[in-house]
Structure 1
Amino acid sequence: MPVLDLTASSVDLTRTICDIPSVSGDETPLADAIFAAVDGLDHLEVTRHGDTIVARTNLGRAQRVAIAGHIDTVPINGNVPTRDVDVDGQPFIWGRGTVDMKAGVAVQLKLAAELTDPRVDITWMWYDHEEVAAELNGLTRLAASRPDLFEADFAILGEPSNGQVEGGCNGNLRAIVRTSGVRAHSARAWIGENAIHKAAPILARLAEYRPREVEVEGLVYREGLNAVRIGGGIAGNVIPDACEVEVNYRFAPSKDGAAAEAHIRDVLAGFDVEIVDLAEGARPGLDAPLAQEFVAAVGAVPQPKYGWTDVARFSAMGVPAVNYGPGDPHLAHHDEERVPLSQIEDVERGLRAWLTGA
């Protein structure tokens, strides 16, 4: 089993964690290593639920903060193991997971081990299956069986935010849009009906769609509606009788799931639309006193989070939450994923100072 040395620097921990492959569905080796590293720490009460690990202080503080990070990544594409690179004179760690979001997890593990007397009680959460459908998410399963573990006054997700604070997040909807036809030999195409050709109006509507920019509590969220996958046909000489277009809609947190679904069905009226995944967004939550205190302490200017993150889950449970972690969100899932060493150190410094009151 891989071993994590929590006395190492957060930079070195980032390298170690990223070199343990943990594509969604294969998180167990990393979860085992995290559990082994924190289970023996006297100041933490540790719970394991599948490949999700929760470690809590119980010091009787007046307030509790949840700090969470997912341990899975999107598929590897020749970018593990990590390596050190230099970009414009700045040192980076390159490799899958460095941005999304193992550098953030490394910072959290380092602080979880060292902060034995924080000024607030802390619930550390490291969870699996974030990069796939919402129903598989480790926090989804944990919330169903142990909702008490989510009790907090404020939450921080270590999602990449360039070391700044990103409030709330867009919602995320995926839909399958289907067309049907009649199968026939392609030499006699007039006998059949081409289902792929029937999908052309779907693509035209999506290409012509102009996404909105929506201001929510002072932050401007950018929406997006795109075809992300298309499939149909069975052979090179057969007119296809079925075609599917997968559509992804990122919607501002001013809109709930029902409104997002209604919008998709309106845009794609006349077609067979099946909603296959829906996760509502989260409003910024920056009006909470602890959130304002945190933003001031780390010297950040809040920005919106365009991608969906589990701040939405905490928000839905009544816990205001923000994103704060090292790494450029534009490099998340990118084959050139890389994180600057300085951001790892800055985020550790900011969290440590706020959690200790230093």
Structure 2
Amino acid sequence: MIDLFTLDPVSLTAALVDVPSVSHEERPLADMLERALRLIPGVEVLRHENSLVVRTQRGLPQRVVLAGHIDTVPIAENVPCARGVNDQDEDTLFGCGTVDMKSGLAVYLAVFARLANDPALAYDLTLVCYEGEEVAARFNGLGLIHGAHPDWLLGDVALLGEPSGAIIEAGCQGSIRLRVTAHGVRAHSARSWLGKNAMHALAPVISNIAAYEAQEVLVDGCRYHEGLNIVHCESGVATNTIPDEAWLFVNFRFAPNRTQEEALAHMLAVLDLPEGVEYEIDDIVPGARPGLDLPVVRRLVAATGGQVRAKYGWTDVARFSELGIPAVNFGPGDPAYCHKKDEQCPIWMITSVFDTLMTYLQAGETDE
């Protein structure tokens, strides 16, 4: 049993890491969290499959959403959690999910449990603990709630506990992944003129991608670095055979000033697919603008000392953006350690995010 009332966010992080919750296997952790959250007096606890939504109903002027996913990538001999010293001689937690993102989830759980019935709370709170973030978008628990119960997610601002180095990472880039396929005619390589090499048909597309110069785009004061890259490529039948099919995945990470439609049109213009080469959309998700001009977000920025940077990767802030809710990423952990065998999070980042949120959410003055 996880005790949200007695565990500090560091101990809670370690406890969460020690409950394996690889994507598609989140139920044991979801059940455990539901039992713990139902012990908080006066809050509404909702569940959709293996995702939880918990809300205060205090009638406060604005609502802040705290969201974090409960799943991790497959464990790489890095559970249970261990505590030690990192290369910078910092007190550190090591283990699967310490960065992505059980430390952020632990902070949000601890903050919610402590403030849900605190007279000093300045905003009503919604806590979202959702499954399936590390896998295909169709399994994403936040997306499933968005589709089935969008009213559960409503608020004035949303915070995602994704690792951001304990500073605000605003907005996020969008992402498109296309599968580009060329077809040819199989033949013996000794008589290659009788065939048509499918891999060769992709050569101009590969050249176009390799020659592409990615843009740096300033959006609402945040600089986003776009990227267009081949991330997987396959062809071949045998070492003496001309391949009759070749395909690749190409991924475009685009700044949030582009819509999905604009990004796709730009991507196709760059690829300039020759006749006989076709594409299909494997995955497409929108970006999210930073929303730093809103008072409720400005107060959070002030609470962190004004430290803000653009979020390069895609995160679920985009789902809140689609609902018209400004959202930022704010969580402990260096994103560079996500999914690594030596995944690790310094203790000071966990306590820093916790202290900042406690100050922000207990502010004495409401926003304009």
TM over 0.5: yes
Partner of 2:254: 251
Partner of 2:243: 240
SS in 2 for 1:193: coil
* Deviation (angstroms), 1:236: 4.4
Partner of 2:71: 72
State yes or no: 1:334 paired with 2:340: yes
* Deviation (angstroms), 1:343: 0.3
Q: Please give the residue correspondences for 1:183-332 in structure 2 after superposition, counting only pairs within 5 Å.
A: 183-270=186-273, 271-332=277-338
Partner of 1:109: 109
Report the residue type matching 1:14 in the other structure: T
Q: TM-score, normalised by structure 1?
A: 0.95
**Within 2, Cα distance between the matches of 1:335 and 1:198?**
39
Q: TM-score, normalised by structure 2?
A: 0.92
Report the residue type matching 1:22 in the other structure: S
Partner of 2:148: 145
SS in 2 for 1:98: coil
SS in 1 for 2:147: helix
**Within 2, Cα distance between the matches of 1:278 and 1:214?**
20
Deviates more, 1:132-141 or 1:217-226: 132-141
* Deviation (angstroms), 1:187: 4.6
Report the residue type matching 2:319 in the other structure: R
SS in 2 for 1:100: coil
State yes or no: 1:4 paired with 2:2: yes
**Within 2, Cα distance between the matches of 1:229 and 1:31?**
34
CA contact (8 A) 2:205 2:272 kept: no
* Deviation (angstroms), 1:244: 1.3
Report the residue type matching 2:176 in the other structure: L
**Within 2, Cα distance between the matches of 1:185 and 1:208?**
32
Deviations 1:76-113 (A, max 9, x none): 33333332231221121122211111100011111222
Deviates more, 1:115-124 or 1:340-349: 115-124
* Deviation (angstroms), 1:283: 0.6
Deviates more, 1:48-57 or 1:235-244: 235-244
Deviates more, 1:229-238 or 1:143-152: 229-238
**Within 2, Cα distance between the matches of 1:25 and 1:159?**
19
Inter-CA distance 220–235: structure 2 relative to 1 (3 Å threshold): same
Tell me the percent identity: 47
Report the residue type matching 2:250 in the other structure: V
**Within 1, Cα distance between the matches of 2:211 and 2:95?**
36
**Within 2, Cα distance between the matches of 1:73 and 1:54?**
19
Report the residue type matching 2:328 in the other structure: V
Deviations 1:251-298 (A, max 9, x none): 000000000110111111123121121111011101111001111123
**Within 1, Cα distance between the matches of 2:81 and 2:329?**
24
**Within 2, Cα distance between the matches of 1:241 and 1:184?**
8
Deviations 1:45-101 (A, max 9, x none): 100101110010001111111110011222333333332231221121122211111
**Within 2, Cα distance between the matches of 1:201 and 1:74?**
35
SS in 1 for 2:16: helix
SS in 1 for 2:100: helix
* Deviation (angstroms), 1:312: 1.1
CA contact (8 A) 1:169 1:312 kept: yes
* Deviation (angstroms), 1:237: 4.4
**Within 1, Cα distance between the matches of 2:239 and 2:94?**
41
CA contact (8 A) 1:261 1:275 kept: no
Deviations 1:100-132 (A, max 9, x none): 111000111112222122221000001111122
CA RMSD of aligned residues (A): 1.6
Inter-CA distance 196–85: structure 2 relative to 1 (3 Å threshold): farther
Deviates more, 1:8-17 or 1:54-63: 8-17
Report the residue type matching 2:224 in the other structure: Y
Q: Please give the residue correspondences for 1:51-62 in structure 2 after superposition, counting only pairs within 5 Å.
A: 51-62=50-61
Runs of 4+ in 1 over 6 A off after TM superposition: none
